[in-house]
Structure 1
Amino acid sequence: PTPDRPDTVPGLIELEIPGGTIRLMGSVDRVDESPDGLEIIDYKTGGVKTAAEIRDGKAFQLPTYLAAISRIAGTPPRGMTYLQVPTDGAIKNHDVTKFNRKDAYDVNQLVTERLPERLARMLGAVRNGVFLHTPFASPDKACKWCDYASSCGRRADVIAERAQRLAEEETPEVEHVYLPDKGEA
């Protein structure tokens, strides 16, 4: 605890995942507990990640913190929200558990099933020295105007081709190749 953050826990938090343990260090801006579970709230002055980026395995901070804190508290995960606090405007609420206004993805499934598997694959990739760039959802997002797009290695097709080559090699590292789910981000 610190004078300005009396509710914080110093040190590392360990999160058990298939194949090992990861250690987390950082702080969560706010945790709300309700009868149906915990919600992590992160205050941001800049940009925020989207629900699609979290759902598709391209953004990990909030779901990883939610997994760790819900395990420590013994309370199920319920939600993740960014509160964007610009210095020159109104606060914007970004509930990243909702993919769109009609449909919400299953936060509990994401945090308790999909996230540990994703983290395990990433941990294995790091341990084996096999870690691919996260591809852009669409080359139009960034590559369209880039002079180096043909040689950069962040295009989804280049990354998929490399992952396929690794899979064909049938080496132990193959099981640890991590690529985010396909989706529009």
Structure 2
Amino acid sequence: MSSNKRTCNTIFKIVVGLGLGIGNLLTATLAWAAPASVFEPILEDLTTAPAERLVRLPASVPSDVELHPTAFEHYGMVIVRLDTTVGCNDASCMGVSIVVAEEPTGWPAMYAEELTPIALSNDIQGYAVDGEVSSGMIWVQDGSLYAFSYQTALFSSEDALAMANSMVSQPPITNAPQ
């Protein structure tokens, strides 16, 4: 199995293997969050995210490559992708993937061997999953698990850490009027 698939599978296994149920979809309005402009086409889509999923997006995405956003809900998780090719759902097209899921019971002990502890902004404990082609960071905030994955050919680990820290610090896009 390639390193890219192994890293994506590890992150996906952690997020999907949590036994998440399908959440209720609610009509919502945007909070005053200031996500990067690349997310603008999907911000309206995020207003229908499950109420218990507080979506946070980075304020900037430093990339020399054009990225195309998509957002969807899958088994109670909110998934936001920035892909290098429009309409491509394959791991090879992923520039950035953000998954927001229910906080798992027993986190992070059940995956301790696969994770490297990292310190994020606002005293948030994060965990890194490193790979050759893609890497990621995972943390729990406001009762949700955030999984941030990125293609290492497009983003340095420093840029990825800055994006994760930006997400931690940004106000969430909420499902209630502010």
User: Looking at CA atoms only, which structure, 1 or 2, has the larger radius of gyration?
Assistant: 1
User: Could you say which structure has the greater relative contact order, defined with CA pairs below 8 angstroms and 6 or more residues apart?
Assistant: 2
Which of the two has greater helix per residue? Answer: 1
Normalised TM-score (structure 2): 0.24
User: Which structure is higher in strand share?
Assistant: 2
* TM-score for the superposition, normalised by structure 1: 0.23
